Amino acid sequence: MSTPHPVTTVDLAETPLRDLNRTLHQARQGSFRVLNPRGAHAVACGIDADIAVEVHGSVGYYCAGMHQKGSVYVDGNASTGLAENIMSGTVRISGSATMSAGATGHGGLVVIEGNAGARCGISLKGADIVVGGNVGHMSAFMAQAGNLVVLGDAGADLGDSVYEANLYVRGEVVSLGADATEKDMRAEHVRTVAGLLDAAGMEADPVDFKRYGSARNLYNFHIDDIDAEVARRAG
């Protein structure tokens, strides 16, 4: 039987952020507790090993950016770019995130227990994002692959210019963006939502969600459509 690794505590009131991230980059295993982040930027950024990090307090920009393999849990809120470019592993926050959470994520799971601001999942490339509350405007803009699950409502222009990502929203959608449309919620999509809710530890009935995705009208560019699209966006 393996012996659990002791938890290493790093207090950012005493230790420079650069030293914390250096320690996390050098670690190949183990658990870490981070105290007093006080809104610092790039906390636990660039992890590429199977380690577990708990951050006690709110963080600034790009927390857990470029994340791979391990897990990061933030007991608090996060500013712009939470888990930006995540490749694998799990990033979770107990509070809310501002703009661009999970942007360009290629893999892994991002869980936001509260709300997410504008452009959540922008240019998503294969990661899964589960939001317990609402998401702001232009969420999943140009999302190419992966899943966005929203237990609350979605702001304006959801899925603008979306490619092949699936967007699941339980609540209301203010408006859909260019080329986004409501799609059939088939049995396989119900199973996908159920699996993601289970992975995120959130309770909801997957049949209550609606699915949105690409109407595929923008796959081929037509110069004659420019004036119509400019007029639509203007008003």
Report how many domains make up the chain: 1
Enter the tokens of residue 59.
């963080």
For residue 196, which phi and psi values (nearest 5 degrees)?
-70, -40
Does 3 have pLDDT greater than 60? no
Domain assignment of residue 146, yes or no: yes
Q: Which two tokens stand for residue 57?
A: 């307090």
Distance from C-alpha of 165 to C-alpha of 214, rounded to nearest angstrom: 8
The whole-number average pLDDT for the span 160-166 is 96
Q: Name the percent of the chain lying above pLDDT 70.
A: 91
Find the mean pLDDT for residues 103-131: 98
pLDDT of residue 2: 47
pLDDT at 233 over 90: no
pLDDT-above-90 percentage for the chain: 89
pTM to 2 decimals? 0.91
Output the DSSP codes for the chain.
-PPPPPEEEEETTTS-HHHHHHHHHH-SS-EEEEE--TT-SSTTTT--SS-EEEEES-B-TTTTTT--SSEEEEES-B-TTTTTT--SSEEEESS-B-TTTTTT--SSEEEESS-B-TTTTTT-EEEEEEESS-B-TTTTTT--EEEEEESS-B-TTBTTT--S-EEEESS-BS-B-TTEEEE---HHHHHHHHHHHHHHT----GGG-EEEEE---SSS--GGGHHHHHHHHH-
How many C-alpha atoms does 199 have within 13 Å on its Cβ side? 21
Model confidence at 219: pLDDT above 90: no
Please count the other Cβ atoms lying within 10 Å of the Cβ belonging to residue 95: 16
Region 44-56: what's the mean pLDDT? 97
Whether residue 22 has pLDDT greater than 80: yes
Please report whether residue 41 resides in a domain. Answer: no
Residue 71 falls within a domain, yes or no? no
Residue 81 lies in a domain: no
What is residue 217's predicted lDDT score, i.e. its pLDDT? 86
Q: What pLDDT, in 10s, does the model give residues 64-106? A: 999 999 999 999 999 999 999 999 999 999 999 999 999 999 9
Residue 29 domain flag: no
Residue 182 lies in a domain: yes
pLDDT at 1 over 60: no
pLDDT at 229 over 70: no
Place 53 in a pLDDT band, splitting at 50, 70 and 90: very high
Written as six digits, the tokens of 156 are 């304006």
In-domain check, residue 147: yes
User: Domain for residue 113, yes or no?
Assistant: yes
Minimum mean pLDDT range among 132-141, 152-161, 224-233: 224-233
Mean pLDDT in residue range 36-59: 97
Spatial separation of the C-alpha atoms in residues 130 and 4, rounded to whole Å: 29
Mean pLDDT of 48-56: 97
Q: Between the CA of residue 57 and those of 12, 64, 196, what are the distances in Å?
A: 11, 14, 26
Per-residue pLDDT, 80: 98
Residue 180 has pLDDT above 50, yes or no: yes
Structural domain for 161, as ranges:
96-219
